[in-house]
Amino acid sequence: MTQPTNFGFGDECALLKDSARKFFAEHLPVDRLHALVAAHPDPEAPSGAPWRDDLWPAMVELGWTALAIPESAGGLGLPAVAVAGLMEEHGRAAFPGPLAATLATSYVLAAADSGTAALEEVAAGRSATLAFANAAGSWHAGDSPVSARGGRLSGTACFVQEPRKAERLLVAAQDEGGLGLYWIASDAAGVTVAPDTIVDLTRDQGRVSFEEAVAEPVGRNGLAAFHAAMPALWTLLAADMVGAGEWQLQTTVEYAQARKQFDRPLGFFQAVKHQLVDVMTRVDESKSLLYNAACALDHEPEKALQLAHMAKASASDMAAFASGRSVQCHGGIGFTWECYVHLYFKRQKHSEVLWGDGAWHRARLADILLGEVA
Amino acid sequence: MSESERKDTPEQAEFRAHCRDWLRDNHPGEPPVRLPQSAIEIMTEPQLHWLQAWQKAAYDAGLVGCDYPEAVGGGGRTDCQRVANEEMLAARTPFLPNVIGLGMAAPTIFYHAQEPLKERLLPRLLSGEDIWCQGFSEPGAGSDLASVQTFAERRGDRWVINGHKVWTSLAHFAEWMILLLRTDKSHKYDGLSYFVVPIRSALGKGVTVRPLIKITGETGFNEVIFEDLEVDDSYRLDELGKGWQVAMTTLLHERGGGELVTPRSGGLTSKTSFSPTARNLRTLAQETPRGGGTAADDPLLRDRIVRQFIREEALQQNQRRSRVPALQDHPMRLQLQYKLLISELAQDTARLGLEVAGPASTLYLADEHAPTGGQWPLAYMNSYGMTIAAGTSEIQRNILGERVLGLAKSK
Ligand SMILES: Cc1cc2nc3c(=O)[nH]c(=O)nc-3n(C[C@H](O)[C@H](O)[C@H](O)COP(=O)(O)OP(=O)(O)OC[C@H]3O[C@@H](n4cnc5c(N)ncnc54)[C@H](O)[C@@H]3O)c2cc1C
């Protein structure tokens, strides 16, 4: 199979991306985001995970939770590049809702053998997230610390994203048949959410414990479903990072134009100018790799794994670099709580390690490109 | 169907089929001599003549210069050079030797010369029969190009030229030079004018070409000295004092941002041709013994080799994305990055090649034990030509910061 020259990013995708950008800019511009999530600076305080749940119905109305869901399950069945466009804007806005977690869940459900009913719920607007990582932070679903006996879950999943914002959990659990997938309400009996205290102010994360919690089985071959869905997950996260990286670039460039030292705008000095150019080239490389991977998900699935590893590896390194430079080039103000730069710095550091950092993805790529080491 | 075929116009589709047919029957095959890594490193007549024969054949078949009007020796087609380039690259052909002619002189002449001059110069340029060189840099004028001092003094409708150009690639083979010089000493930019001058026919009569030896030991660039060279006013491009604007056309095309797509072939893989790519790096690693296994088992090297694969893919995808307006924030943003990124990528890949080869990376071209015939250290040294020539990486970063990001000019 071959890929279309334009990544399959047609008018429909451009329209969606554009409207997403307007939606976020109108409803949660960065000053209001800051007022919402960074109102009380206290490094010892537990994370509150505030977000604008009042915006969720509008997001559902726009069809965003249904984007990646096949039409047969009540979704819109849009290509992955459309999701990438939306998530780029989501990242540019550092939006603090459960949208990314919900989309990620929909990808795994779509690959599960009996996920249709759950997918219909999500398409209709139910928010959801994935529970599969262990305490060591393994992103291999087969390492899930949750087990299931007769449809009852027990154990504690770690590094669960947005556990207080998502209404449903898709749990990977070791069961009689191997790794099963289970669907359960996050406030069901036997489910306890213990929020982590995290650096990122725009996200929520936590441990979810199950004690004989009754869940609905939605897939028998969880390993295969996760394996099939992971490239899409890495891609959507990379999209968020690319959008956030572009925000970091533009914001720092504006500062370098406005702020004067030695009677010159900061951007006059090459030590600043060249760093910002390097941020730009890295954002662009990551963005190109992102749409390449997203396009492959639909048009060249046999290459999607490799290209998604590339996209997330590149995005992780870019995010680390852009974050560092955005603080450094702002000087003292960049080191303060009041400057918005820290919101993105923290979000990017979180995204950098989520679902595998650069080195982890490169190690997988090395096995593909150079062969595994005996 | 390849990626770009899907959007071919009927003319392009027909032309693509023609290119394929022709290339299938007319690939020049294995070269009889070792080829240099790029056209600006051509050292010997046998190398040059073999490559010139390839360019002439491709030109005669309509694959070179196809977007130029027929009146100036072109093919009179619309947006077909891109197609020919794709097909020539896919067919793994040798590179075209007249790089400076095709990439810089031709578009400059096309946009700025009078009609008779175009009709006289362009056919032999496009066919590769006349090799061209670029006389911009001087001992005192490199990055700060507008400070050139080579001077032309008017005598009736002739000009008398005196001055000193350096780093002039291919001047030892060139018939013609594009020449940026000064016609007025009192204005830095507005005192510049732009000429085409015959070099070869004036050797010993006002023109001296002396080879400069490169860091690699190869020849390829030269210094060119003008002593009272007389040229006709009809060799001037555009108006007097407009040399800087004309030079901008040259530089724009040199950096790949021009209207006219530069004819380009390449990709020949053989024992006699080499470039520092991630694939070649992988082969080297897999063939280099290390510990009990090979260098391709070393976790640190694996990580770094994979990085080069990722950067290569990113650069290709940048080019793909540069043709999708909906996925760009600024029209020149990706185009202007290309030269910087490709040159630094080649440099880093070549440097890593040396690390992978380990102690054997010390062995050079003539050593029978040298990995890949000593091409890795050669490529590494040559890569600095790429990060210096055509605007250094630092100058590229200035341009990107100022033109794309809108930061204050550093000067
Ligand atoms: C292989 C090769 C082939 C070439 N072929 C040709 C040719 O055919 N025709 C031709 O005319 N020229 C040619 N050149 C010359 C080339 O264009 C110049 O070398 C180049 O423009 C740099 O000028 P320079 O050598 O004078 O270095 P300089 O301008 O003196 O630069 C020296 C160092 O200072 C840095 N620097 C200079 N100014 C700035 C600034 N404003 N900001 C930040 N850093 C700065 C540079 O980046 C560089 O690192 C060639 C060069 C090479 C290496």
d(CA B56, CA B160) in angstroms, rounded, equals 34
Which residues in chain A show pLDDT less than 70? Answer: 1-2
Q: Which of A325, A340, A237 is nearest to A281 (CA)?
A: A325
Cα B385-B390-B392 angle, rounded to 5 deg:
70
- Are B407 and A286 within 8 A, CB to CB? no
Q: Write phi, then psi, for B238 (nearest 5 degrees).
A: 55, -170
Mutate to test the pocket of ligand 1, among B132, B347, B388 (most ligand atoms within 8 A of CB): B388
Taking only the tens place, the pLDDT of each residue in B90-108 is 999 999 999 999 999 999 9
CATH number assigned to the domain covering B133-254:
2.40.110.10
ipTM of this predicted structure: 0.97
* One-character DSSP codes across A249-289: HHHHHHHHHH-EETTEEGGGSHHHHHHHHHHHHHHHHHHHH
CB A47 within 8 A of CB A74: no
Taking only the tens place, the pLDDT of each residue in A344-357 is 999 999 999 999 99
Taking only the tens place, the pLDDT of each residue in A120-142 is 999 999 999 999 999 999 999 99
DSSP reduced 3-state for A114: coil
Res. B2: pLDDT tops 70:
no
Superfamily name with CATH number, domain B278-404: Butyryl-CoA Dehydrogenase, subunit A, domain 3 (1.20.140.10)
Cβ neighbours of residue A43 closer than 8 Å, sequence gap 6 or more = none
CA dihedral B276, B277, B278, B281 (to 10 degrees): -40
Taking only the tens place, the pLDDT of each residue in B319-366 is 999 989 999 988 889 999 999 999 999 999 999 999 999 999 999 999
Cβ neighbours of residue B184 closer than 8 Å, sequence gap 6 or more = B190, B191, B241
Q: Half-sphere exposure of residue B102, counting CA atoms within 13 Å on the CB side?
A: 28
Residue type, position A314, single letter: S
Domain(s) labelled CATH 1.20.140.10 in chain B stretch across 278-404
Q: Which of B2, B171, B184 is nearest to B90 (CA)?
A: B2
Residue B5: the pLDDT is 55
Residue B208: the pLDDT is 98
DSSP reduced 3-state for A214: strand
Calculate how far, in angstroms, residue A182's C-alpha sits from the geometric centre of ligand 1: 63
Taking only the tens place, the pLDDT of each residue in A69-86 is 999 999 999 999 999 999
Res. B196: pLDDT tops 80:
yes
d(CA A322, CA A252) in angstroms, rounded, equals 10
DSSP reduced 3-state for A175: strand
CB B274 within 8 A of CB B365: no
Interchain CB contact of B333 with A (< 8 Å): yes
- What global pTM score does this model have? 0.94
User: What is the percent of chain B with per-residue pLDDT over 70, rounded to a whole number?
Assistant: 97
d(CA B326, CA B166) in angstroms, rounded, equals 43
Tell me the mean pLDDT in the region B298-314: 98
B136 lines ligand 1 (CB under 6 A): yes
B146 lines ligand 1 (CB under 6 A): no
Residue type, position A149, single letter: R
Q: Which two tokens stand for residue B188?
A: 């830095």
> Strands, DSSP E only, in A92-149?
128-131, 147-149
According to DSSP, the β-strands at B176-182 and B192-198 are antiparallel
Answer whether CATH 1.10.540.10 is correct for domain B3-98+107-129: yes
d(CA A66, CA A71) in angstroms, rounded, equals 9
Q: How far apart are the CA of A268 and the nearest CA of chain B, in angstroms? A: 5
Tell me the mean pLDDT in the region B116-122: 98
Domain(s) labelled CATH 2.40.110.10 in chain B stretch across 133-254
Question: Who among A270, A278, A287 is closest to B398 (CB)?
Answer: A270
- Are B286 and A370 within 8 A, CB to CB? yes
CB atoms within 10 A of CB A192: 15
Q: Is B254 a residue of the active site?
A: yes
Taking only the tens place, the pLDDT of each residue in B173-187 is 999 999 999 999 999
A224-370 CATH choice from 3.40.50.150, 1.10.645.10, 2.40.30.10, 1.20.140.10: 1.20.140.10
d(CA A205, CA A158) in angstroms, rounded, equals 9
Q: How far apart are the CA of B337 and the nearest CA of chain A, in angstroms? A: 7
Structural Rg of chain B based on CA atoms: 22
Residue located nearest, by CA, to atom 7 of ligand 1 = B168
CB B376 within 8 A of CB B284: yes
Taking only the tens place, the pLDDT of each residue in B211-270 is 999 999 988 899 999 999 999 999 999 999 999 999 999 998 988 778 899 999 988 866
Question: In chain A, which among 150-179 make CB contacts under 8 A with chain B?
Answer: none
Residue A132: the pLDDT is 98
Interchain CB contact of B307 with A (< 8 Å): yes
Domain(s) labelled CATH 1.10.540.10 in chain B stretch across 3-98+107-129
Q: Which bin fits B269, alpha (ψ -120 to 50), beta or left (φ > 0)?
A: beta
d(CA B393, CA B382) in angstroms, rounded, equals 15
d(CA B348, CA B359) in angstroms, rounded, equals 18
Cα B395 to Cα A274, B20, B40, B185, B409, distances in angstroms: 10, 39, 21, 25, 11
Res. B1: pLDDT tops 70:
no
